[in-house]
Structure formats: structure tokens, C-alpha cells
Amino acid sequence: MRIVIIGGGFAGINLAKDLLNQKDINVVLVDKNNYNFFPPLIYQVATAFLEPTSISYPFRKFFSGKKNLQFRLGELLEVVPEENKIILNNGELTYDKLVFATGAETNYFGMENVQKNAIPMKTLNDAIVMRNTLLKNLEKAAICKDIRKRRKYLTIVVAGGGPTGVEVSGMFAEMRKNILVKEYPELATSASNIYLVDGGDALLAPMSKESQQDTLEAVTKLGVVVKLNAKVTDYVDDVVYFEGGETIATKNLIWAAGVSAKIFKGIPTESYGRGRRLATDAFNKVNGLDNIYAIGDTCILAGDENFPHGHPQVAQVAIQQAQNLSKNFKAMKDNKSLRPFVYNDKGSMAIIGKNKAVVDLPKPKMHFKGFFAWFIWLFVHLFSLITYRNRMQTFYNWMVAYFAKDQSLRMIIRPDKKIKLPGDN
């Protein structure tokens, strides 16, 4: 059985790992990047508290020596279901089973100017672009004599009150307090504001009321200006426009306001559900198609009575669906019965700042905040990294940042656009 997996995020890499050393199963993982990365810590790369290598690892290094696992660098262009074939930007692959584990992409809700001018927070490349942009804007602010223009460079608007928005806002607030004054003495007397805006009526909407309230109080205490029921409608000429007419002038709009799944050529329209997610049965098989499956953020699964409108697009869903699908693939090989997917909700959490976090546990129903919740967040995220090397490197950087209240990673590193790699057009 040849299983081709498109996407090497939480879902794809865990499915591949669980099929390791399985007789008569050959796995080919396809990804447009040559590395796996850990999305929950993207914001720490973007704010220069972690290096990209701390949260990423090359697929080929990870697959080295694993005989039934192969990696293919490539981007999916089209699926040909009737031929059990996919077309990539650099060739074709046939499959017995095809698995979409492509995650989700940033959703700009049709706002072209926001898509063009805002800074997204979804990929490792986004994080590096954001880090370079923010650092360059600080340098520009340091030599800017026009007070109004300088304020634009120093004002940050974070759109989206989910975990990413809360975490990056808290990080910016602590950087302003501990780093800005020391390293940019030219800006010591300059006004700088951090806004966290959301179109809903609460931060961390999927979490408990206790977590929402604790988070609001904590970020406000850090000096973040929270604006709820504030829907962004446009971002043009360094001005963020809101529904109702309010505006904020800034050079830095961080977009963490939503995600949507991707559309694939060759997959019929009727196979998609809400949010462009591939609609599947309880076994993750895409509706209306044979031999094609979807797991993680890109799928909306029917059959789990506890989640009639689909599962949340979080890491635990992706990991558990990958584990269940791997068991079902093994069962298919051995002609055994399949097991439908049922999500085991292990809780949710978000970090706000140093010694500040919130954690909700469903069974038993419990809520934690402060240092203990912060420690749980660190422990869970540290051991969720893909390799020991990533864990040790991240732990070291965290310890330095904790005791020094700083990091030495704020370098603007960008490729020269004139330089082309061999094979580039």
C-alpha cells in the first residue's frame, strides 16, 4: 500500500511517524518546504526570542534511515482521482491512499489591502518577515524627527484575540518594558502603543469565561490596549480602519484574525464543507471520493456527536486524527474493522507573558492561571517539539530570556534579492 501524505505539519508528520516500519506500507510525504515547524511558537521567532532552528527540523534528516518513509519536496497543483494520481510542480506521484494534511492558511476575509499590507502569522517565513519588519521599523523610528511618523513606526496593532494574538501582544508588551528603553535610548521618551483588537466580545473566545477575564486583566496590566467588538474593514496608507469609523495610524498591523482551508484543483466542489474544509466521514475519508482522506485543520469530520459542527482547528485534533487514521490504515491492510474518530479534548491554554498564562482542563473541569498555568504551558509546548535537539535549544533560549529578561537574537537577516540559487528561474 502506497500512502501519499500532502503536508508535513502536526497531522502529516504524526501520521508518517505512526506508520514507521509497517510492512507492506510505503509512505511518501510531500511538502512545499523541506522542514517541519512548530506553529504554536511562531510568534517567539517573530519577536526574536527563538531562532527558526529551535522550532523546525528538516524532513530528510528526520526520515533518515527509515526505510518505508520517503520525502518529496514539491507543491500540489492538481489531483486526478480517477487515476489515483497527483500532479506536483516538479512531477507526478501515484498513490493507493492519498491523505490531505495541508493545514490552513491566513484568512483576510476578502480585504485586499489587508492582505497586501498586513503582516501574517502563519508560517515560519511569515515570522522571519515580521521580525525583520519590526526591527527595521524600530531603526527608522530611532532616526525619525517627525513625532507623528515616529509614532506610526512604534504603534503595533494585533488583529485577532485568539491565542496567537494574545501571546504576541504580551510578548510585545514585555519587550517594550525590558528591551526598548535599554537598546533604543533615542526612543526612551517616545509614545508607543500596542493594540489588541478583535471583532468578538471576548479574548480567547473558545476558552472559559474565567480564562477570558483573567487574560483581559493580564494583558491590560501589561499596558496593552484591548478593543473588543472592533472589526477591521481596511488597512491603507498606514491607517487601520474599523467598522464604525474609528482608525489607528500604524506601520505595523499583525494579522492573526482567522484561518481558512485551501481549495485543490481536481477535488469536486461538493467534497468541501464549511470554511472550505474537506468534508469527511467518521473515518476521515473525503465525501464522494475513493482512496482520499483528510486530517487536521483542512478537514471537517462528521460523526463525532460531541462536535456536530466540526472539530476546532487545533494541534490535538490533528495529532489524534493522524493516530486514528494510521490505525485504520493498518486495519485495512489486515482486513480488520475500522474505528471511527472520536476527539478526546485534553484542554486548551494560552500564554500571556512571563509567569502569566491560562489553562482550561475539561475532565475534571478545572481552570488555572498565573505561574502554575505558565509552567504547564512551557512543559506541554517544550515536549511537543519534534526532536530532542529542538527541545534542548528552545529550553536554553527560554532560560536565558527568563533570567536576563532579554535575548540576543535581534538581527535583521534577509537574502539579497539579486542572489539566485541554482535552478531558480
Per the prediction, the chain carries an average pLDDT of 91
Domain 112-258 fold: FAD/NAD(P)-binding domain (3.50.50)
Note the pLDDT tens digit of each residue in 8-54: 999 999 999 999 989 899 999 999 999 999 988 998 888 888 888 89
What pLDDT score was predicted for residue 214? 96
Note the pLDDT tens digit of each residue in 113-165: 999 999 998 999 999 999 899 999 999 999 999 999 999 999 999 999 999 99
Question: How many other CB atoms are there within 10 angstroms of residue 22's CB atom?
Answer: 17
How much is the average pLDDT of 210-231? Answer: 96
Higher-pLDDT residue of 405, 207: 207
C-alpha cell recorded at residue 331: 486495519
Q: What is the DSSP string of 181-245?
A: HHH-GGGTTS---EEEE-SSSSSSTTS-HHHHHHHHHHHHHTT-EEE-S--EEEEETTEEEETTS
Question: How many other CB atoms are there within 10 angstroms of residue 75's CB atom?
Answer: 12
- Residues carrying CATH 3.50.50.60, the chain: 2-32+74-104+261-333
Radius of gyration of the chain (CA): 22
Q: What's the CATH code, domain 2-32+74-104+261-333?
A: 3.50.50.60
Model pTM score: 0.89
- Residues carrying CATH 3.50.50.100, the chain: 112-258
What pLDDT score was predicted for residue 405? 67
